[in-house]
Amino acid sequence: MLETLRRIVQEVNDAPNLRAALEVIVQRVKVAVKADVCSVYLTDFDKGRHVLRASDGLRPEAVDRVHLALHKGLIGLVCDRAEPINLQDATSHPNYRFIPETGEQPYNGFLGVPIIQHRRVLGVLVAQQREQRRFAEDEATFLLTLASQLAGAITHANASGELAAMQAAKRRQKRFMTGRPSASGVGIGTAVVAFRPAELRLVPDRPVDDPGQEVARFHAALDKASAEIGGLKQQMAISLSEEDAALFDAWAMLLRSDSLLNRVEELIQQGCWAPGALRRTIDEHCKVFESMEDAYMRERGSDIRDLGRRILSHLQHSQSLPPENYPASTILVGEEVSATQLAEVPVGQLKGIVCATGSSASHVAILARALGIPAIMGVADLQVGRLEGHELIVDGYLGRVHLQPPPSVLEEYAKLISEMHSQSAVLEQMRGCHSQTRDGERVHVYLNTGLVSETSSLGLEESEGVGLYRTELPFMVRDRFPSEEVQRNNYRRVLKHFHPRPVTLRTLDIGGDKPLPYFPINESNPFLGWRGIRISLDHPEIFLTQVRAMLRASVGLDNLRILLPMISHISEVIDAKRLIQQALDEVLQEGRKVRRPKLGVMIEVPSAVFQAEALACLVDFISLGTNDLTQYLLAVDRNNPNVGDLFSDLHPAVLKAIHQVMRDAGPQVEDISVCGEMAGNPLSAILLVGMGYRHLSMSAGGLLKIKYALSHIDLPLAQHMAASALCCEEPETVKILMERLLMEHDMLHLVAPTGAVGGS
């Protein structure tokens, strides 16, 4: 039955439309489970009924005409329970309804399984038998598996308008798909599918007779890929700031990293041909990055895989593909859109990006934000192959992709685009202004970043320093720990970049979920394992080298702040302070004039929340990592599509934890900052200020928005909103409360278009 299942799933995926997919399902299932009838009922929520949409065994003329009211019959019971119902004698069940129009005889055996997508029952897949029969357990699971495949096709058909056409109803439909908004804005254009001409996973293992020649072939391909990246940088330099364009330098660094070069050459010397050695090396590197908890670092795996494909395309001696004929208004769509594919679209023609995978931490999302192009990542059930040439609207505020929108929707979004241009001009007026509330309460805004090359001019000019600088990347692109001098040069660059403003360098945050290629760690539960400060303390030689590099980098600048990650015990801070003092003594003994930097801890696990007061007595400042704190408090991985909807930093438990930290630790330290996404979201930033926070650290894109939002709010009002939010019981209630506030102050456009269309 497994092979049958595989064939049916493939046929459903290859079906040109929903109608064909339904026909495949009912015909194949009827044969597979030896039933007399197989049917699909789809739920029409607007009209409150279940409609027969396909059947093999019932009268053909009944399809699209026969319907049951919601909650009625065995179909309604399956929907209400959202679980399979398997009956040997269906006619004796109190919910049984005989429908003469179908031509069905009194069928006894009945198996109905729900078709579910994101908790919503979209319909029911039914198998029926004349004789009394209870379907076997493996037959029930067989139907359940097919129902899950069908759910994706139904969702796509609903979004594209196909389902509306099937229903032949002239009523307003929900014609959009949803994903994670990763770059705000609205774009209208024609879909162009980004595909991969060279696929690493298809490369076989083959032996090689002349390793030296194969190494030379690899380096020739590498040179061509490097030149290609350089050309893309030159093309993008017109529309990107110098700092943003330097992203391409980061990719060039990845291409030439010791760990990649040495590993490929090592495998070739062992007798593997270059494409196979490249595939194995890229896979090894990607597994390291993709297993990480930190979204920013995890997305670096996509960059490495994209670079690997570019090298492979040159290794294969493939002819260059003809230039893509990009429409004047292009929406780039793909299973996995890379930043280099984005760069290939002519400047000014790219209006939006839609991706089935990825997150806001991917380089394509980073570039999209820098270019002001709306982007939506993680769009579930995106039927990429069917979208080429279709007109799309990308709503980067609400995370919606509208497919083949009707004229009325197009007109509304055209108005929104015009409105946003006016709003951008208003935000630009905040450049150079202090961040403060309307009644003059100062709120300091800082920048979160991971590479100096990713620091845009906006982040450099508008932030009051760096609230969180990730130090992991230089460790990850090498085949050994970077030397103290290499680290010093990296840290010196960012400290000078922002001098005299403060720069907070977070010590190495690696571990079970972020292993280094040369420092492997295998754990059954890496999220709760050996990581962050735990590794630093267990390997003082690594920690001391990094701290010495930080201290030496700060000589003559004195704007360094050191931040310790993943603190869960008081003893960890005490031990870390001892090692930092040791490093300081060593640097001073070398005759370097360096001041003791301010020391802080990250509160990102629940235990630290309840020990915030004790921690505050040991350090100069505290930083709340609200992304991880929310994840640990709610036991939700926000990058897991099955539970991502449960992740909310407006959850009352999260708000109460944040409030408790300020209450307990605020009087003990110089400052407490928030460096998660909450800081850059106007909805939550106002609440943070109301709770007493005066230091917010965010990505560059949030700086002007937060300045604008705070300038329209008095401190007493922010305090009142915080008190009200702390009394709420559901995150949605808090969201509505804050959206109402923004609406009353004509600021809802900061989080979504004021005239958002498309329904809910």
Catalytic residue positions, numbered = 363, 675
Rounded to whole angstroms, the Cα distance separating 125 from 111 reads: 8
Closest residue by Cα to residue 640 from 349, 298, 350: 298
Would residue 205 be called left, alpha or beta, if left means φ above 0 and alpha means ψ between -120 and 50 degrees? beta
- CA 354 to CA 337: how far, in whole Å? 8
Q: Which of 515, 523, 687, 528 is nearest to 606 (CA)?
A: 528
176 to 12, 92, 400: CA distances (angstroms): 21, 42, 6
Query: Looking only at Cα atoms, what is the longest distance across the chain?
Result: 96
120-129 β-sheet, strand order: 67-69, 49-56, 37-44, 120-129, 109-117, 85-87
CA 225 to the chain's CA centroid: 27
Instruction: Tell the residue number behind the tokens 């399984």, with chain if given.
Output: 113
> Which residues neighbour 101 within 8 Å (Cβ) at sequence distance 6 or greater?
59, 62, 65, 66
Please state at what angle helix 731-744 crosses helix 715-725, rounded to 10 degrees.
Answer: 160
Q: Distance from first CA to last CA of the chain, Å, rounded?
A: 39
Q: What angle do CA 165, 168, 169 make, to 5 degrees?
A: 110
Give the separation between CA 467 and CA 448, rounded to whole angstroms.
Answer: 6
Whether the Cβ atoms of residue 658 and residue 688 lie closer than 8 Å to each other: yes
Are 241 and 370 spatial neighbours (Cβ–Cβ below 8 Å)?
yes
Phi, psi of 159 (to 5 degrees): -70, -35
Rounded-to-integer distance, Cα 274 and Cα 268, Å: 6
In Å, what is the CA distance from 672 to each residue of 243, 687, 717?
Answer: 29, 15, 21
CB 400 within 8 A of CB 176: yes
For residues 161, 164, 168, 172, the Cα torsion angle rounded to the nearest 10 degrees is -100
CB under 8 Å, gap of 24 or more: what pairs does 452-455 form? Answer: 452/243, 452/246, 452/493, 452/494, 452/497, 453/243, 453/246, 453/247, 453/249, 453/250, 454/243, 454/244, 454/246, 454/247, 454/250, 454/366, 455/243, 455/494, 455/497, 455/700
State the DSSP string of 326-390.
--SSEEEEESS--HHHHHHSPTTTEEEEEESS--TTSHHHHHHHHHT--EEE--TT--GGG-TT-
Strand partners, 355: 334
42 phi/psi in degrees, rounded to 5: -110, 145
Residue 406, preceding peptide bond in cis (omega within 30° of 0): no
Using left for φ > 0, alpha for ψ between -120 and 50, and beta otherwise, residue 556 falls in left
499 burial class (0-12, 13-18, 19+ CB within 10 angstroms)?
middle
77 close to 101: Cβ distance less than 8 angstroms: no
Q: Which of these, 39, 339, 58, lies nearest to 183 by C-alpha position?
A: 339
Distances in Å between the Cα of 109 and the Cα atoms of 40, 93, 251 are: 16, 11, 61
In whole angstroms, what is the distance from residue 546 CA to residue 564 CA? 12
Q: What is the identity of the amino acid at 298?
A: R
* 615 in Cβ contact with 665 (< 8 Å): yes
Name residues whose C-beta falls within 8 Å of residue 455's C-beta, 6 or more positions apart in sequence. Answer: 243, 447, 449, 494, 497, 700
Which helix H or strand E contains 402, and what residues bound it? strand 400-403
